[in-house]
Amino acid sequence: MKRIPVIKFQRDKYGDELLVDVVTLDAIRKSRGFQEVLRQSFYGVMLTTGGFGEVEVDGVSCSAGKGLVAFARPGDVCTVKEDNGLTALELIFERDFLLSFFNDPHFIDSLPYFTHRRPLPYLMLDEAMYNKIVGLFVEIQIEIAHDRSVHLLRALLYEVLALLQRAVPVESDVPVSVESRVVRFQELVNEYFATETGASEPIGYVNAENYKQHNLGVEDGLDGFGRALAGLANFPEKAKVNTVRAFEDGDYVVCQTDYNFFGPKAGFDIFRFEDGKIVEHWDNLMAYNGQPNPSGHTPFDGTTEMKDLDKTEANKTLVRNFVQDVLMGQHPENLTNYFDGNSYIQHNVSIADGLDGLGAALAAMAEQGIKMEYFKIHKIFGCGNFVLAVSEGAFANQPTSYYDLFRVENGKIAEHWDVMETIAPESEWKHQNGKFNF
């Protein structure tokens, strides 16, 4: 995995420390060594002033021409993908530059184009607004070149940010899919585990001061996770990560992952965000030997297309009812109501496709005296046609955590992936946060 270069703010560019600047696109390219893909550690407001091209911020691409504004937060991956004479000015600043004046740690995060829940990182300016913003950018440049009054510069920056709240968000011209919105989180997962290099240093997306861990074998906090990674360098197989599916549900991001982390494993990871930072992590892991199930499927293959976003809540309700009725045994007679006949793709490593395959597997377990029990649903996550159920139960009389991912099509369950993990005895836990506790 190639790590994306991180560009830091040049605080002493003008001699004394200054945490705001306006730079041209050409200057940006030169200062960044003409790197195409970068991650910056500061806030950026890029206004295109001429030419044409394509830019990408936070995994979302947009055609760029005069009047487009692109917003980047610390940690966002930024790319100028195509360039046909594109020119731009970028207003860049450190968070502390405004916080030292407003004394409100949530001020910047409340701005709609910087919040981590923003629909898109772009605005389109009409001619009047464009002229106002360009004029303010020029005023900032002039003030920096002469007196560099931090009070005046803060006032000008605030005026820019306030005016941009009145601009029109880009909508129809940007093809946005759920998958594109979580690209930055897929990158996050790769860097968070840092498995290609064995590195264990914290990354910018994680709240280093407030990070709660629910993997029972890893100590709490970012330092605890770093200690867990310390042995990777000496592990015989080089560790790696491949995020197969990922989606957002409110403050949570769900990732289905194929990786080698102290041995090949299939897993699900759940991250909770606050103010754009990861503050909590859950996972469910199982060893996987690479062999397909009786129908030739693996825990990872199958469709990744996310659709039917308008049916998210209905699909989540369907899956919740299925788990309660069938897996928890409240109304097993309703089993066939949840499927389109025998059409059902199964990715469980031991079970074949269709209801016939499920029935045969359950019968085989019963003959061996093995019970698969679901006691409680802890959380249901969903995005369109994909729904993840996190449940607690027992398998072969051992406490078990069940993560079941379902694909729903036309109101019926069409496909299923899962990871089962035996819950360790409490005496072996590395913290008291619990396996669940959403």
Whichever domain contains 205, its CATH number is 3.10.450.50
Q: Specify if 437 maps to a domain.
A: no
Residues 50 and 101 occupy one common structural domain: yes
Comparing 36-40, 56-60, 341-345, the range with the smallest average pLDDT is: 36-40
Comparing 89-98, 117-126, 411-420, the range with the smallest average pLDDT is: 117-126
Task: Write the DSSP string, 33-64.
Answer: TT-SEEEESSEEEEEEEEEEEEEEETTEEEEE
Q: Specify if 433 maps to a domain.
A: no
Domain end: 172, 205, 231, which one? 172
Please state, rounded to an integer, the average pLDDT across all residues of the chain. Answer: 84
* Residue 32: pLDDT over 70: no
Residues 193 and 329 occupy one common structural domain: yes
* Residue 283: pLDDT over 60: yes
Interatomic CA distance for residues 279 and 271, integer angstroms: 8
> What is the mean predicted confidence (pLDDT) over 264-290?
89
pLDDT in the model for residue 417: 98
Q: Specify if 119 maps to a domain.
A: yes
- Higher local confidence (pLDDT), 250 or 385: 385
pLDDT classification of 25: cutoffs 50, 70, 90: confident
Helices marked H in 146-288? 150-164, 178-181, 183-193, 221-229
Interatomic CA distance for residues 124 and 69, integer angstroms: 6
Domain end: 172, 193, 223, which one? 172
Q: What is the dihedral of CA 406, 180, 92, 280, to 10 degrees?
A: 10
pLDDT classification of 177: cutoffs 50, 70, 90: very low
pTM of the model: 0.63
* Residue 348: pLDDT over 80: yes
Residues 75 and 100 occupy one common structural domain: yes
Model pLDDT for residues 214-248, shown as the tens digit of each residue: 999 999 998 887 777 666 656 666 667 788 888 88
> What is the mean predicted confidence (pLDDT) over 274-287?
87
CB 65 within 8 A of CB 52: yes
Residues 260 and 381 occupy one common structural domain: yes
pLDDT in the model for residue 201: 41
pLDDT in the model for residue 180: 39
Q: Specify if 420 maps to a domain.
A: yes
pLDDT classification of 182: cutoffs 50, 70, 90: very low
pLDDT in the model for residue 280: 93
Residues 164 and 191 occupy one common structural domain: no
CB atoms within 10 A of CB 239: 20
Q: Specify if 203 maps to a domain.
A: yes
Nearest CA-CA partner of 346 in 409, 405, 304, 287: 405
Domain end: 172, 194, 221, which one? 172
pLDDT in the model for residue 205: 61
Q: Domain of residue 121: give its range.
A: 6-172
Tokens 């909590």 sit on residue: 280
Residues 228 and 302 occupy one common structural domain: yes
Q: What is the CATH number of the domain that holds 27?
A: 2.60.120.280
CA distances from 406 to 293, 318, 339 (A): 17, 10, 12
- Higher local confidence (pLDDT), 201 or 166: 166
Sign of CA dihedral 191, 252, 413, 309: negative
pLDDT classification of 183: cutoffs 50, 70, 90: very low
Model pLDDT for residues 306-333, shown as the tens digit of each residue: 888 889 999 999 999 999 999 999 999 9
Residues 149 and 213 occupy one common structural domain: no
Q: Which residue type is seen at 437?
A: N
Q: Specify if 247 maps to a domain.
A: yes
Residues 144 and 212 occupy one common structural domain: no
pLDDT in the model for residue 331: 95
Residues 274 and 383 occupy one common structural domain: yes
**How many domains does the structure of the chain reveal?**
2
- Higher local confidence (pLDDT), 35 or 172: 35
Residues 141 and 198 occupy one common structural domain: no
Residues 219 and 71 occupy one common structural domain: no
Residues 145 and 24 occupy one common structural domain: yes
Q: Specify if 435 maps to a domain.
A: no
Q: Which two tokens stand for residue 367?
A: 């003959």
Q: Specify if 316 maps to a domain.
A: yes
pLDDT classification of 26: cutoffs 50, 70, 90: confident
